[in-house]
Structure 1
């Protein structure tokens, strides 16, 4: 048989390779839809202006509000779209053709090492900062995406970087493009960087210090190490934002399914002010590791906590203090639990300890501590909460297999640190399935309890003939003559 011919145009090896990489991420259909809607039909290329508008945060009328929002961040957000296009897209005369469009996506969103992702994020941050006339003292040794980074950051620079990443995280999960956002408190993350990477003259009181006034120089190498060890998912904020902006372009004109989270504009007062799980804390937890729990907790900062009320399992101020009340709320929950403790002082991987008072009066020569504990060893727990939930004890530990060895609190020293507990919260992060299992467990326990309370009156004789009545009569008049029926 002779060789068959095809009228279809030949696909270059470069295009094949680019499309294969994009297909491995599952993004090729989305990229095809986005390109068809962004491209100029006459040139079959995407104009730079279209891309810059799509990647701009402020292009859709959004804004970032809050008393802690510096003016420099607002200017940086105005330049974000143009910087992303300059960093990742290589234009031709008529704009961005299909092959370059796919290659640009792969450059930012394809699977790469964490160090490469962080390098790209810092390059974008430096470029955006320079556009906003904010000097950043970071230097890249070469144009390679995995080159060494020299220089240093100031605490104010770290705050801007974290704020930019938070904005991109928010934008990547709010695909409808509705509402404005309020920047949460990120000082706890900045203080973590300072205590890990910097040295402040005269020491640092992290509990009573304005970070904006600190002039500590944080070496770039130490900062990179902090990101890798503490918040390894931070570089993903850039990839998620980049992907989300193209996804919005691909679905332009298509009605999106409603999100599980509440609208950004609807913020309940208790979610915004009373919960320990604030936007900033929820986001900080979500970027510490790659797991399905991140998707559950991300709802807290999408809607400013408004969509997390149904995930609250226990709160001491609402459900009562003490280990008994705690277990009555968390027992039967088959999923990840996030426990937050608020306290004030004068903090083995398989070690999560909880012990209640034994139900029977059994002598115990070596009674176990009654309370809730994490890490360390029995009697020398890393974090111990007493049974009344009134006091928390945090111990220094040099060989703890659960937490990083050393101190859990800044300037902790080697002696135990005690704090007076004000609030304890437990959030269920196992999704709807875990909640349904717990509800079923609680209904079963309530049924057993109700059955144990029921008394069959037919099994007892008449009150007049009961031993209880005879005893009551004897106590009231012990000298009275009584006839014994035989």
Structure 2
């Protein structure tokens, strides 16, 4: 078979040696040997095309829409059923005797080999166009050649982009399920809320996109055109990990075919699982928002966010929720009691509502922003931190990476514990970016109001509006909800739990009073309290 022929140097052709070297550079050559041995016909020494198509097929039966009220054309979900055929037809081209070892490895290299990010994105767009044409979607994209280095022209419309993002999220879901336990293989696929990503691309790429009202628009009826060149720029600048969804899906699917003999990829089940309980809860961090944030950077924290997006265990994800204002109570003290001692990456989400007084709209428009910090909170009267990302999450998604000019990532200051006179007291609250007194984002100590300032005051994060039509003047809006999610894994949570137990022990020890240390009733604290209550204005002379 292919594995044995590759060891006999006299029979190895230069073409085979080249593709094996390219596959070996990715570390996947041993896995490819096993996958080929498992999928190939022993007599023909070639993989049947139908078997490989089944391997890459996605069966998402009865997916659950999130949010439930969204309406989606059936053709978009039908796109997923043609994913396997499209991948095989484009990349795994059989030779005269079928899909032999060389063609199989070449197909893998074309999908998952070392290549530029633009080439990965081209592969993704080619698969999308091929699958979309099979279900009657008019993907107006053209390629000047069949290779990954081909140039793409044409445009996408918002409904096409929605279908493309849905295809990517389903591939990401399949990748996670391939690595999940056997009991989780039949997990329900939740269609995430990705309208904020579509609105972001429309605002960035379409002509006149800045005039879009994201609070009152139907993305399936928008007639805006997103030129291919501008769309590529938007992907690489906003969601650079989006092309990885395709390459990771191909690699994980073949890996799964090695681990399981008679299971060719995950198949969604219409039965409810523990996810249903989690989906019914109204967290700020929905599956779609979690997936969008995970596409913006590569780090261990990104994997923790993906666990939230595709987790099958609601109890496990609830453990990562450190603070939620509607549950734990509003205010800096309540906030601090839940985040103190957590030394790991954090995701902070802030939802607020504003009134459009210029147009007489008093219903309030909701928006959500987020911040990712690589360290826990500290009680300081100055800015601190070494890294972080600022996000506009809803209704338009955008990411503002560090600019490298300043390091004012986070500010968190509580009231001084002692009665210390401060001629110029520092603001009490939490803030992100800017400087003291001119913070880009400032949350007051009661968690009642959030102030957003123009990016001109901030040299820490890159410029851009945090919500549509922000303007140049500071905006002071009402806070609806605040959430803090721990992204440090089980280790950071265990450290915080140990820290809290130690603090509770110290507090309990300080509360205990040994009455034997007092000589008589006259020296007891009860006597002192009763005297103060009876006549607090009595002049007392201190004993020297």
Do both share a fold (TM > 0.5)? yes
* Aligned residue number for residue 259 of structure 1: none
Partner of 1:211, secondary structure, is coil
Partner of 1:74, secondary structure, is helix
Distance 1:122 1:349, change over 3 A: farther
* Aligned residue number for residue 4 of structure 2: none
Distance 1:360 1:12, change over 3 A: same
* Aligned residue number for residue 484 of structure 1: none
Please, which moves more after superposition, 192-201 or 376-385?
Answer: 192-201
Partner of 1:308, secondary structure, is helix
Q: 2:342 aligns with which of 324, 328, 333?
A: 333
Question: In structure 2, what is the Cα distance between the partners aligned to 1:475 and 1:174?
Answer: 67
Q: Measure how far apart 1:476 and its partner are.
A: 6.3
Structure 1 residue 299 and structure 2 residue 307: aligned? yes
* Aligned residue number for residue 482 of structure 1: none
Structure 1 residue 64 and structure 2 residue 67: aligned? no
Question: In structure 1, what is the Cα distance between the partners aligned to 2:72 and 2:532?
Answer: 81
Structure 1 residue 440 and structure 2 residue 498: aligned? yes
Deviating 4+ runs (over 6 angstroms): 473-478
Q: How many aligned residue pairs are there? A: 465
1:345-364 alpha-carbon deviations (Å, 9 max, x no partner)? 11544420011111222222
* Aligned residue number for residue 167 of structure 1: 170
TM-score, normalisation: structure 2? 0.80
- 8 A Cα contact 1:51 1:85, kept in partner: yes
5+ long unaligned stretches in structure 1: 1-5, 256-262, 479-486
* Aligned residue number for residue 268 of structure 2: none
Please, which moves more after superposition, 173-182 or 49-58?
Answer: 173-182
Question: In structure 1, what is the Cα distance between the partners aligned to 2:126 and 2:102?
Answer: 24
Pairing of 1:58-457 with structure 2 (within 5 A): 58=59, 62-66=61-65, 67-175=70-178, 176=182, 177-200=185-208, 203-253=211-261, 265-303=273-311, 306=314, 307-346=316-355, 348-398=406-456, 400-457=458-515
Question: In structure 1, what is the Cα distance between the partners aligned to 2:526 and 2:216?
Answer: 67
Partner of 1:213, secondary structure, is coil
Question: In structure 2, what is the Cα distance between the partners aligned to 1:218 and 1:168?
Answer: 23
Distance 1:465 1:44, change over 3 A: closer
Question: In structure 2, what is the Cα distance between the partners aligned to 1:474 and 1:50?
Answer: 88
Question: In structure 1, what is the Cα distance between the partners aligned to 2:272 and 2:27?
Answer: 29
- 8 A Cα contact 2:431 2:443, kept in partner: yes
- 8 A Cα contact 1:140 1:147, kept in partner: yes
* Aligned residue number for residue 38 of structure 1: 39
Please, which moves more after superposition, 337-346 or 201-210?
Answer: 201-210
- 8 A Cα contact 2:515 2:524, kept in partner: no
1:331-371 alpha-carbon deviations (Å, 9 max, x no partner)? 11111001111111115444200111112222222211111
Distance 1:240 1:476, change over 3 A: closer
Distance 1:30 1:412, change over 3 A: same
1:380-421 alpha-carbon deviations (Å, 9 max, x no partner)? 111111111111111111363332213222221111222211
Partner of 2:220, secondary structure, is helix
Q: Measure how far apart 1:144 and its partner are.
A: 4.0
Q: Measure how far apart 1:225 and its partner are.
A: 0.9
Distance 1:462 1:113, change over 3 A: same
Partner of 1:339, secondary structure, is strand
Distance 1:201 1:44, change over 3 A: closer
Q: CA RMSD in A?
A: 2.7
Q: Measure how far apart 1:29 and its partner are.
A: 2.0
1:21-58 alpha-carbon deviations (Å, 9 max, x no partner)? 22232222221111111101111000101111111112
Partner of 1:174, secondary structure, is helix
5+ long unaligned stretches in structure 2: 1-6, 264-270, 356-368, 370-405, 537-544
- 8 A Cα contact 1:394 1:417, kept in partner: yes
- 8 A Cα contact 1:197 1:218, kept in partner: yes
- 8 A Cα contact 1:336 1:430, kept in partner: yes
Q: Measure how far apart 1:327 and its partner are.
A: 1.2
- 8 A Cα contact 2:155 2:227, kept in partner: yes
Question: In structure 2, what is the Cα distance between the partners aligned to 1:476 and 1:436?
Answer: 49
Q: Measure how far apart 1:472 and its partner are.
A: 4.9
Question: In structure 2, what is the Cα distance between the partners aligned to 1:412 and 1:37?
Answer: 57
Pairing of 1:18-57 with structure 2 (within 5 A): 18-57=19-58
Question: In structure 2, what is the Cα distance between the partners aligned to 1:440 and 1:246?
Answer: 42
- 8 A Cα contact 1:68 1:183, kept in partner: no
Q: Which structure has the greater CA radius of gyration?
A: 1
Please, which moves more after superposition, 148-157 or 368-377?
Answer: 148-157
TM-score, normalisation: structure 1? 0.89
1:219-246 alpha-carbon deviations (Å, 9 max, x no partner)? 2211111111110000001011111221
Please, which moves more after superposition, 284-293 or 467-476?
Answer: 467-476
